[in-house]
Amino acid sequence: MGGIEDNEPPLKRTKIRLAESNSLLEDLSHMQPVACSMGYSMARPLPSHGDEETIGSKGIIKRAEFIKIITRALYSLGYDKSGALLEEESGITLHSSVFNLLMQRVNDGKWNECVAMLHTIGVLDEKTVKSASFLILEQKFLELLKMEKVTDALDTLRNEIVPLCVNVSRVHELATCIVSPSQYVRLGLSSQDTDVVKSRSNILEKLQKVLPAAVMTPEKRLEHLVEQALDVQRDACIFHNTLDSDLSLYSDHQCGKNQIPSQTIQVKEDGHVSLKHKLTGHQKPVLMVSWGPDDRQLLTCGLEEVIKRWDVISGECLLVYEKNGVGLISCGWFPDGRGIFSGMTDKSICLWDLDGRELECWKGQQTLRISDMAVTDDGKRIISICRETSILLLDREAKFERLIEEEEAITSFSLSKDSKFLLVNLINQEIHLWSIEGDLKVVAKYKGHKRARFVIRSCLGGFEQAFIASGSEDSQVYIWHRGSEELLLALLGHSGAVNCVSWNPTNLHMLASASDDHTIRIWGLDELNLIRRDSQSNGITCCSNGRI
C-alpha cells in the first residue's frame, strides 16, 4: 500500500523521492507511487490497450474511466488504502505521471517548475495553460508577500502574472497587497504557518475546475452520475409523488397510481360539523373569506363594503378596514401575515398594516374591477383578476403592471407555491398554466373536466407541485400530470358538482374536495393496492370510507 500510515497528515504520506536534477524527463523516470487523502496517487503504469476496453451490456462505458471515477470516490470518502489498492490491482492510475509530478511540485512550492510543466501536458490549450498558470503564480505571489519578500512579489506580479492577461480584476486586487500587505490575509493566506499547506492543497482543487477531466478526474464525479440517474428516473415517473428520501439505489424507481390520493378516507357532512362561531356584522353579502398565514385570524370582505379581521379562537372582530367613498370587493394576506391588501371599487389596490394604517394605494390604468387576488411569496407582486378575460400582475417596487390576456372569460386562478406559475380556470372548460417569470406565456393546458354554470376552482399539489387537481360539475375530481398534461385520474365519490379542491401542502398524499352535495371529502392513498404493491408502510392512517 506504498507505506501509507493512517496517523500521518494526508499531505505527508509517502512523498515522492526524486533525484536532484533540472530535467523534467529525468524527474519522471525516478517517480515512485504517491498517495494522499485527496486521491492524488500512482501505481503501475496503465497498459496501452486498457483505454479501449469497455464494460456493461451496451459497451459504452470505458473501463479505464469507470475505474478512475471509482478510485476518485474512494479517496473522496477517505478510503485511501482502498483507493491505492484499486489503482495497484487494476493497473489504472488516477492521474498521469506528469500530472502527479505537477501536484508534487505544487505541494513543494516549486512554482516556476509547475508553470513549465503545464506546457508539457499536451492536451492543454493555450487558454487553459494561462488560467492554470495564473492560479499557480498567484499562490507564489501571496507566499512571497507572506515571507515579506515584497520586491520578489512585485517582480512576479509585473513580469509573470500581468503578461498572462487573465483575470484583470483579480490582478488589481493583488496589486493592492503591495501597498497594504495586510490585504493578502483577505485574499487567501493567514498568518498561521499551517495555512500554507492548506492553501497549496486548495490550489489543486482550483486547478481541477480549470483542467480538463481527461487530465484530472473531477471530484465527486461518481456521486454526480448517480444523482443524475436518480433525477432521470424521477422525472420519467409520471406518478411520482414521494420524497427524495424514499429513492433507493437498490432498484429502479417507479411509482404507481397508488401514490396519488384516490381513496376517500373521510367525509364531512353538514350534520357532523360543529358550529364554533357565527361571525356577524357585515351589512351586505360576504364576497370573500381568507385565512391568515398563522390560521389564527380570518379576513372577510363584504360586497362593496368593508373588510373585517377576526380572531378565530374568540370570534371577536379585531379591526375594520374601510376607505371613505370607496367600496372594498376583495381581500388577502401578505405571506408574513403582517399586512393585508384589497381590491377597491375605484379600480385601485390598497395595502394596510394590521393596525389599519394605509401603506400604499395603487390605481391601475387598464383595470375595470379588482377581484380574486393573490400575492407572491416575496410580497413584491400582487395578482388579481381585473377584467373578464384579463389578470393583472402588479410589481409593487417598480410600479409596473402586466396583463395576462385570455380569449375566454376567466373564472378563477391559483398561484403556485414558488410564485412562478399561475393556474387559470376558463369558462370554456380549459385550465391554462401560465409562466409568470420573465415573458408571460402559457406552458400547459388541461382538459376533460366539466363546467357549464358554476365557478370551478383548481390547484397545484403533490411532490414539487407536479400535479393539477380540479373540481368538475360531473361530480368528479380530476387529476393531471403537470408536465405531460396527461389526465391521470377521475375520482368518483361526490353526488353533486365539485366546486373546489385543495391539495395538502405538507402531506403529499392528501387532497380535499368540496361539493354541492354538502360534503367535503378527504382523499388519501389506496391503502389496499399500496400494500399489495409494496409491503412497506407509508405512514398514512385511513378510515376506510368511514364518515366522521
Handedness of CA 75, 78, 83, 84 (dihedral sign): positive
Helical pair 97-108 and 111-118, crossing angle rounded to 10 deg: 160
**pLDDT above 90 (res 159):** yes
CB neighbours of 42 closer than 8 A, spacing ≥ 6? Answer: 31, 32, 33, 34, 35, 87, 93, 94, 95, 97, 100
pLDDT per residue as tens digits for the range 59-71: 899 999 999 999 9
By three-state DSSP, how is residue 291 classified?
strand
Looking at mean pLDDT, say which of 45-59, 271-285, 298-312 comes out highest.
Answer: 298-312
**pLDDT value at position 420?**
94
Task: Please report which confidence band the pLDDT of residue 266 belongs to, taking 50, 70 and 90 as the band edges.
Answer: confident
**pLDDT above 50 (res 1):** no
Task: Please report which confidence band the pLDDT of residue 278 belongs to, taking 50, 70 and 90 as the band edges.
Answer: confident
Pairing mode, strands 458-461 and 467-470: antiparallel
pLDDT (average), residues 219-246: 89
Mean residue pLDDT of the chain comes to 80
CB neighbours of 348 closer than 8 A, spacing ≥ 6? Answer: 326, 361, 362, 363, 364, 370
pLDDT per residue as tens digits for the range 515-535: 888 888 889 987 655 444 454
**pLDDT above 60 (res 21):** no
pLDDT per residue as tens digits for the range 389-408: 999 898 887 778 899 999 99
pLDDT (average), residues 177-198: 62
**pLDDT above 60 (res 378):** yes
Handedness of CA 74, 79, 85, 88 (dihedral sign): positive
pLDDT (average), residues 235-259: 86
Task: Please report which confidence band the pLDDT of residue 136 belongs to, taking 50, 70 and 90 as the band edges.
Answer: very high
DSSP state letter for 399: T
**pLDDT value at position 275?**
66
**pLDDT above 60 (res 84):** yes
**Helix intervals (H) in 123-280:** 126-146, 150-156, 168-179, 183-187, 194-210, 221-236
pLDDT per residue as tens digits for the range 40-66: 443 334 444 445 789 888 889 999 999
pLDDT per residue as tens digits for the range 505-517: 888 899 888 888 8
**pLDDT value at position 155?**
92
Distance, in Å, from the CA atom of 463 to the CA atom of 483, rounded to the nearest integer, reads 13
Task: Please report which confidence band the pLDDT of residue 245 belongs to, taking 50, 70 and 90 as the band edges.
Answer: confident
**pLDDT value at position 152?**
92
Q: Contact, 260 vs 479, CB < 8 A? A: yes
Q: CB atoms < 10 A from the CB of 14, how many?
A: 19
pLDDT (average), residues 17-41: 39
Integer CA distances (angstroms), 545 to 455, 496, 524, 532, in order? 28, 18, 10, 19
Helices vs. strands in the chain: H and E counts, helices first: 12, 26
**pLDDT value at position 532?**
46
Q: Extract the C-alpha cell encoding 80.
A: 485511501
Q: CB atoms < 10 A from the CB of 306, how many?
A: 19
Phi-psi region of 372 (alpha: psi -120 to 50; beta: other; left: phi over 0): left
pTM of this structure: 0.63
CB neighbours of 456 closer than 8 A, spacing ≥ 6? Answer: 411, 412, 425, 449, 470, 471, 472, 473, 497, 498, 499, 500
